[in-house]
Chain A
């Protein structure tokens, strides 16, 4: 279980997150919505220690993780698999090299046969086939790269999945496929998922709860059913986009 306790994050004079507190339930899919620059991606990066909190605490499974040193963060990063906004695949590696990067023998203790098996399993979860293994990321479409990126994270078998704008820049069909992947991955591994997004339509379809951020503060945290009848102006703005569609 993940818990934020009055977390603040500032960059020089600009406060991006201002006293955020929330808890996740085990196995839930929590969408984090908000306009650009409201600190959604920062929130995810704080969890995996890519950024440090300015004040407050973050707890993961009864362990305070907000003040861990870089060398102690690996177990946290293994528990919380991050899928980045960009596919963030390594250009010089093949698809196999990318997928196996986090489970190389010296990191995971797995044999090369076990690594290959795990890679193929997760490639299948994201709907891709074995013939892509020797291709370089530049030979794949953007949608495929996003899937490979998700499969790479799944190889770590994380207890929690953190998605940073997974559907940004994708067409409606691929968006739908990615939403389905989030659901599949979450249900298959029983992982808790935090999904940062602008996409209310996806949130209403996939999320168990939706958290809305505005100017560094939580302005709404509710189930999709409750969100639909929310009176908060920003939430209504997001909803009106869905209704217009």
Chain B
């Protein structure tokens, strides 16, 4: 038990150091820009349909749930505001990030893991380049940028999903649905949602690049990296959600904004 905990802490520390090295490279502008734009486009293009569907249905689900809760109180006029607020601030970023971690995270871990076990990473070093600069950092930054856009796009679609479900399920027209959104959602709520999206993108990028790069042991090792990426990303996203809520709340309170 103790050795498992120390082993986990050791890996966690290594992961943090690895992420710090990549961040340092990115901040120093030592990223292959061609690779970076390729990655952003690839991730965005491949995950857009999934994110749109997920975003749309998250909004729809929240609307149905809130409708069931507030209809007995005759407060359906607030349905749009409540459903959108909950979606943008909490549930939307969380669920869409889960989905992206399964799609982008697992794909990247498998891709990097395969490159590692088939010695492509070693070959890059032997050909005089740094795999961190050429392969890892572009993927890391690409995932952060593309995921952030995808999350925002998913959240916009969630409003559309809520709007449609409000009309179909609760008989609320679009004007009525949208009326109380500005009442319940301030620019601060949108800002909080965006910060969470950024944190989740960062978590997905860090976990999948680190675990992909650490892969050993052939096809079985690649499989394990993919599983570990899916599990650790989701757990880390939940932890990041709690941590970002806690920190943002404290900061906004101390600034007198809440």
Interface residues of A, Cβ cutoff 8 Å to B: 45, 48, 50, 70, 73-74, 77-78, 81-82, 84-86, 88-91, 101-102, 107, 152-153, 156
Residue in B125, B127, B130 whose beta carbon sits within 8 Å of that of A152 in the complex = B127
Other-chain contact of A89, B120, B125, B126 (Cβ < 8 Å): B120
Looking at the assembled complex, report how far the CB atom of B225 sits from the nearest CB atom of chain A, in whole angstroms: 17
Do B127 and A101 touch across chains, with their CB atoms under 8 A apart? yes
Could you say which residues of chain B place their CB within 8 Å of the CB of A86?
118-119
Considering the chains assembled together, what is the distance between the CA atoms of A45 and B122 in angstroms?
A: 9
B125 touches A50 (CB 8 A): yes
Is B247 among interface residues, defined by CB-CB distance under 8 A? no
Would B123 and A84 count as touching, CB distance under 8 A?
Answer: yes
Q: How many A-B residue pairs have CB under 8 A?
A: 50
B129 at the interface (CB under 8 A from A): yes
B119 near A84 with CB under 8 A, answer yes
Are A88 and B125 within 8 A (Cβ)? no
B128 touches A74 (CB 8 A): yes
Which bucket holds chain B's interface residue count?
10 to 19
For chain B, residues 81 to 139, give those with C-beta under 8 angstroms from any C-beta of chain A: 118-120, 122-130
- Report chain A residues within 8 Å CB of B123: 82, 84, 88-90, 152
CA distance A97 to B84 in the complex (A): 48
> Is the CB–CB distance between A50 and B118 below 8 Å?
no
A-B contact pairs, 13 of them (CB 8 A): A48-B125, A74-B128, A77-B126, A77-B127, A77-B128, A81-B126, A82-B126, A88-B120, A89-B123, A90-B120, A102-B128, A152-B127, A156-B127
A84 in contact with B122 (CB, 8 Å) = yes
Which residues of chain A have C-beta atoms less than 8 A from B127's C-beta? 77, 101-102, 107, 152, 156
Closest to A49 in B: B125
Contact: A50 with B120, CB < 8 Å? no
- Cα of A98 to Cα of B237 in the assembled complex, Å: 37
Name the residue in A84, A88, A101, A156 with the highest tally of chain B Cβ atoms < 10 Å from its Cβ. A88
Most chain A CB inside 10 Å of its own CB: which residue of B124, B127, B128: B127
**Which residues of B lie under 8 Å from residue A152 when comparing CB positions?**
123, 127
Which residue of chain B is the closest to A74 with respect to CB atoms?
Answer: B128
State in angstroms the CA–CA spacing of A107 and B125 once bound together.
Answer: 13
Q: Which of A70, A74, A78, A88 contacts B118 (CB 8 A)?
A: A88
Min C-beta distance of A145 to chain B, whole Å: 11
Contact present for B119 and A88 (CB under 8 Å):
yes
Choose among B122, B126, B129 the residue with the greatest number of A CB atoms under 10 Å from its CB: B126
CA distance A82 to B139 in the complex (A): 26
In the bound assembly, the distance between CA atoms of A82 and B121 in angstroms comes to: 13
By a CB distance below 8 angstroms, the chain B residues around A85 are 119
